Structure 1
Amino acid sequence: MSQIIKIPDLGGAISATVVEVSIEVGSTIDIETPLITLEGDKATMDIPSPIAGVVESIEISAGDTVSEGQILCYVQTVSDECVHPEAETTAQQQVQNDSHHLESEPVLETLCIPDLGGADQATVVAISVMVGSTIELEDPLITLEGDKATMDIPAASAGQVETIHVAVGDTVKTGQAMLDVMTAATLKPSEDLDRSNVSIHIDEPDTAPRIETVCIPDLGDAAEATIVDIQVKIGEQVTEESPLMTLEGDKAAMEVPSPFTGTIESIDVQAGESVKTGQPMMTLSVITVSKPLQSKKTPSPSIDRSVQLDAQAVSDSEPSRLTSAQVYAGPGVRRMAKQLGVDLARVKGSGRKGRILKKDLEVHVRKQLAAPQSNSNFVVAPWPKLESEGPVEFKPLPKLRQVAGQFLHRNWVHIPHVTQFDQADFTDLEAWRQSAKAQAAEYECRLSPLVLVMKVLVESLKAFPDFNASLNEAGTGLTLKQYYHFGVAVDSPNGLVVPVIRDVDQKDLVTLSKEIAEVAEQARTQGLRPDQMKGSSFTLSSLGGIGGQAFTPIVNAPDVAILGLSKTQYVPVYDGKQFIPRLMLPLSLSYDHRAIDGADGVRFTVDLANRLAQAHQFADQWWPN
């Protein structure tokens, strides 16, 4: 039977953006298998499947904006006659005879801000759920930021989010109401249950605490790492996967999770200390179950299949088989991966149903910790705390600027930048542009210097194809692109956006002029679609309309170069006999030094400058035929 799965309640939001589709046509899915990931203004959430079956068709794709009730996919469900063997076994264990009936009572539970570890208050910097989200135990709910650390607050109960009492930017305290959760149904006997026919005895487990030593995990080939933060204290209760401390190497920082659930007995290291693989860092008192729970029940003559029980509640289930295209991770892990620049599709999950845990990400980035150690004792100081000397005002950054900042930071940190400065004689081409204004007006377009530079730039990129390329992840080769799609940086009220103008080599001046004007207007009115900002082969950033003489543009990965244009100005140029005024266009070319040598960087700007100086001779061929 084919069933429709629709977008659920978005918690008051009108729409959200699909950032990832975790299934494909033909995928076999279970209940709670993640289908897609949505991103709204304040949170990212996974949409789980409410049914099990085989995906027949998918009606949305990554980048789409969706709203409540929109069709997500069609699923061919499993026949009602099929009963999972684990569920049947569980039913046999729980149902004592046909006269037993169980009732469900959902409970509304308020989750509060936990102990902040001595801090008076903290700021809510992210909310990872929305009203209507289904959460599991330990799923991240919100992220708090204090003076010295940032922490995820996990769910203490599983269920569905009913109300959220806090918002991003709020200052909260220990014990303050965070959100309300309708917890999973509680099973209890009905009033008319004949208890005389039931005899259930559960032997209490014999428990004995044991002391486990937690050691520094494998650091790869790195000799040592530095402890930058210890997140627990003696006597504190921790659960498996809870972060214990943060280690930092030359190129990356990683959290060390607890391998056990228990109580911290001792801490053998301290912040600032250099540690090695296998070095003891703390001990935990762990409860050992010396014998399993045993139940004695009166035999049941039959099984009431109408009673639906969660097999996972009483027995371990086998992990579901997910396809390679499915990435199962919670919002907290996705946020961490984004900060580290990790592609989750390359990470193997070790959690339930292949879920990617924080420790899986940490294993993935250990190779960076294994990089050769520096002989320098220089240590980067922590970010300084703001101490205001007068009146201040807090101005929150728009979401677009926050997201752009993350990508700019990633590109600046990971790409070894070199910027080559040069000037091009723009005198004759500018004279041609002024003479062409009347012709441009007939086409109802404005002919800007940027359009002319783009047409000339295509020819320089053909002569130097390494600049119209992308470096592979391993840094072992270039993908030379046979197309010319130029990203053009546009300043919008909410921050920097880079729409892509495609096939510049195949378009005339009029088409390019109108297209640039159109995307610039869409950027100012927040009307750009995600697909309009993907697929560039080279990027330009023009500040000529504002001013300035030079700047260092940041390479827009995966491109390997970006050209910055500043304001033209007349300067005296010596022609061998006398100084004459020439209109010069400043060029600022930033490039990835792993892909491009300095000599080639100079050759490229010289070639571009020469072509710009001569472009007036053949510019007429750029008009529409």
Structure 2
Amino acid sequence: MANETIKIPDLGGVDEVVVLEILVKVGDEVSVDQPLMSLESEKASMDVPCDRVGTVSEILLKPGDKVREGDDCARLTTQAATEAMTEKSAPTKVDSQPSTTTPSQVAVAKQPQSISTTVKPLHPIAQKSSSEYSAEKAYASPTVRRLARQLGIDLQAVPATGPAGRVTQDDLVTVVLARQQVLPNATTAAPSTSWQDPTKFGPCEPKKLGKIKNATAKAMTQSWANVVHVTQFDRVDITELEAYRCEHKDALKAQSIRLTMLAFNIKALAPALKKHPNVNASYQQAEKTRWEKGYYHIGFAVDTPGGLVVPVIQNVDQLSVIAIAKQLADLSQKARAGELTPRDMTGASFTVSSLGGLGGEFFTPIVNQPQSAILGISRAEHQPIWDGKTFNPRLMLPLSLSYDHRVIDGAEAMRFLNDYMSELKTLVQLDLNASSL
């Protein structure tokens, strides 16, 4: 037969999957390991690779179809079948002249025309809408394809570094970084079409951003573009801890020490970070390296008239709750007075952003590069919590952990949050009057 059938491969124990995307079309020349289509189950996605060289003659499935292992998905006209058909239809007359074609020339002649050995130069890539997006010839996993669509990146223009010429997530990050280097020049030549002159619609007044807000905008834009952000949420019961804090705060206030819940929040971080070094690490993109830090310097966001600043408390693992409370007060005062030094604001391995004094429930803080995670803390509220027999009012503190998914996966992030919440609850055992604390 002229056509050979490609079947759905082993699905790793999954009974049935859905066709997510067809990656080739009839007439395409395909090679070994080239993805033909993407499949998706409830928890994962995979590609159907081609196991031979040939030309797509028929596609038997469409997006949305449900398939099982062994189902037919496409037919190919293979090289052997094509040669057999050519020999059958060719004239039987034999040329008396010997062939002058060498074996190497034959091999080159049989190369598929769609294969190119040249590497496309990396140019600024214009944003594309989903309807304009096309990556039929690109080798990439479904996850990378979805990310490319979201970023407006044409996979065909991305130099691939993965196995068998596959485009990887790191390749997309490289493109994004290249864009950041070329976009400033591009925007000066072509102003953004999204801007509308607001004076056309009513009275308004332009005001320049201050130095701090400009620096924050630049840092947050770079972090959002470079870090693969994920945020997980949870609540921790701080009923006993808040009672413990209130029990001691008046006595400490007489010593000019303001004992806030944030001091306890920061104190509980060090033991949790020690158990999960990835959360205290930094990712070096150029070297594909994760740097695990042996120090625990915690930055905390302070709202000042000029904008948000992040002072750093050094070596939190060596400090008592009272010492942390003192540094929180001192650094916050220096921040609002504009007296922070560079040493006061550098070296953090992890950051906390607390909105507890303002309100709200959950939010998505942006990771402060080169760190790998940031913890958002919101206002605690009493909620009815079921204990197995009845509902009881409990003071619940909302937590929002944002992290870099290149360094930390969801399971590890949740384990870190669980350990952090456990450490927070144990702080009621501290003796705040002990000199060692």
**TM-score bracket, shorter-length normalisation:** 0.5 to 0.7
- Residues 246-300 of structure 1, C-alpha deviation per residue, up to 9 Å, x if partnerless? xxx99999xxxxxxxxxxxxxxxxxxxx999xxxxxxxxxxxxxxxxxxxxxxxx
Task: Could you tell me which runs of 5 or more consecutive residues in structure 1 were left unpaired when the two chains were aligned.
Answer: 1-218, 229-248, 254-273, 277-340, 343-361, 370-380
Q: Aligned AA for 1:591?
A: Y
8 Å Cα contact 1:401/1:496 also seen in 2? yes
1:588 aligns with one of 387, 390, 400: 400
Equivalent residues in 2 for 1:327-338, closer than 5 Å: none
- Looking at structure 2, the residues matched to 420 and 617 of structure 1 have their Cα atoms a distance apart, in angstroms, of 28
Match of residue 299 from structure 2: 487
- Residues 479-516 of structure 1, C-alpha deviation per residue, up to 9 Å, x if partnerless? 11111100111111111111111011111222221211
- Looking at structure 2, the residues matched to 227 and 562 of structure 1 have their Cα atoms a distance apart, in angstroms, of 32
Residue 519 of structure 1 deviates from its aligned partner by: 1.1
Match of residue 194 from structure 2: 383
Q: Aligned AA for 1:582?
A: R
Residue 617 of structure 1 deviates from its aligned partner by: 2.4
> Residue 331 of structure 2 aligns to a residue in which SS?
helix
Equivalent residues in 2 for 1:292-371, closer than 5 Å: 365=178
- Looking at structure 2, the residues matched to 532 and 223 of structure 1 have their Cα atoms a distance apart, in angstroms, of 40
8 Å Cα contact 2:354/2:377 also seen in 1? yes
Residue 458 of structure 1 deviates from its aligned partner by: 1.0
Match of residue 290 from structure 2: 478
* Residue 446 (1) aligns with residue 258 (2): yes
Match of residue 308 from structure 2: 496
> Residue 522 of structure 1 aligns to a residue in which SS?
helix
8 Å Cα contact 1:510/1:623 also seen in 2? no
- Looking at structure 2, the residues matched to 223 and 444 of structure 1 have their Cα atoms a distance apart, in angstroms, of 60
8 Å Cα contact 2:125/2:179 also seen in 1? no
Q: Aligned AA for 1:424?
A: V
- Looking at structure 2, the residues matched to 393 and 446 of structure 1 have their Cα atoms a distance apart, in angstroms, of 41
CA 1:619–1:382 in 2, change beyond 3 Å: closer, same or farther? Answer: farther
Deviating runs (4+, > 6 A) in structure 1?
Answer: 249-253, 366-369
Q: Aligned AA for 2:357?
A: G
CA 1:598–1:623 in 2, change beyond 3 Å: closer, same or farther? Answer: farther
- Looking at structure 2, the residues matched to 590 and 397 of structure 1 have their Cα atoms a distance apart, in angstroms, of 26
- Looking at structure 2, the residues matched to 604 and 402 of structure 1 have their Cα atoms a distance apart, in angstroms, of 33
Match of residue 469 from structure 1: 281
* Residue 601 (1) aligns with residue 407 (2): no
CA 1:223–1:414 in 2, change beyond 3 Å: closer, same or farther? Answer: closer
8 Å Cα contact 1:509/1:622 also seen in 2? no
* Residue 559 (1) aligns with residue 371 (2): yes
Q: Aligned AA for 1:398?
A: G
Match of residue 415 from structure 1: 227
What RMSD, in angstroms, separates the aligned Cα atoms of the two structures? 3.4
CA 1:224–1:403 in 2, change beyond 3 Å: closer, same or farther? Answer: closer
> Residue 436 of structure 1 aligns to a residue in which SS?
helix
Task: Could you tell me which runs of 5 or more consecutive residues in structure 2 were left unpaired when the two chains were aligned.
Answer: 1-117, 128-147, 159-172, 183-191
CA 1:533–1:224 in 2, change beyond 3 Å: closer, same or farther? Answer: closer
> Residue 268 of structure 2 aligns to a residue in which SS?
helix
- Residues 212-235 of structure 1, C-alpha deviation per residue, up to 9 Å, x if partnerless? xxxxxxx9645775579xxxxxxx
1:576 aligns with one of 388, 395, 405: 388
Please give the TM-score of this superposition, normalised by the length of structure 1: 0.40
Q: Which has the higher contact order (CA 8 A, sep 6+)?
A: 2
- Residues 146-171 of structure 1, C-alpha deviation per residue, up to 9 Å, x if partnerless? xxxxxxxxxxxxxxxxxxxxxxxxxx
Please give the TM-score of this superposition, normalised by the length of structure 2: 0.57
- Looking at structure 2, the residues matched to 550 and 366 of structure 1 have their Cα atoms a distance apart, in angstroms, of 32
More strand per residue: 1 or 2? 1
8 Å Cα contact 1:425/1:612 also seen in 2? no
8 Å Cα contact 1:220/1:367 also seen in 2? no
- Looking at structure 2, the residues matched to 622 and 421 of structure 1 have their Cα atoms a distance apart, in angstroms, of 34
- Looking at structure 2, the residues matched to 561 and 569 of structure 1 have their Cα atoms a distance apart, in angstroms, of 25
Match of residue 22 from structure 2: none
Residue 366 of structure 1 deviates from its aligned partner by: 8.5
- Looking at structure 2, the residues matched to 480 and 474 of structure 1 have their Cα atoms a distance apart, in angstroms, of 16
- Looking at structure 2, the residues matched to 533 and 367 of structure 1 have their Cα atoms a distance apart, in angstroms, of 26
Identity of aligned residues (%): 41
Q: Aligned AA for 1:382?
A: T
1:543 aligns with one of 355, 361, 365: 355
CA 1:614–1:510 in 2, change beyond 3 Å: closer, same or farther? Answer: closer
8 Å Cα contact 2:322/2:432 also seen in 1? no
* Residue 431 (1) aligns with residue 243 (2): yes
CA 1:468–1:417 in 2, change beyond 3 Å: closer, same or farther? Answer: same
Q: Aligned AA for 1:463?
A: K
Match of residue 265 from structure 1: none
8 Å Cα contact 1:492/1:523 also seen in 2? yes
Q: Aligned AA for 1:394?
A: P
8 Å Cα contact 1:252/1:368 also seen in 2? no
* Residue 393 (1) aligns with residue 209 (2): no
CA 1:508–1:610 in 2, change beyond 3 Å: closer, same or farther? Answer: closer
Q: Aligned AA for 1:431?
A: A
Residue 532 of structure 1 deviates from its aligned partner by: 1.4
8 Å Cα contact 1:443/1:510 also seen in 2? no
More helix per residue: 1 or 2? 2
- Looking at structure 2, the residues matched to 517 and 250 of structure 1 have their Cα atoms a distance apart, in angstroms, of 46
Count, aligned residues: 273
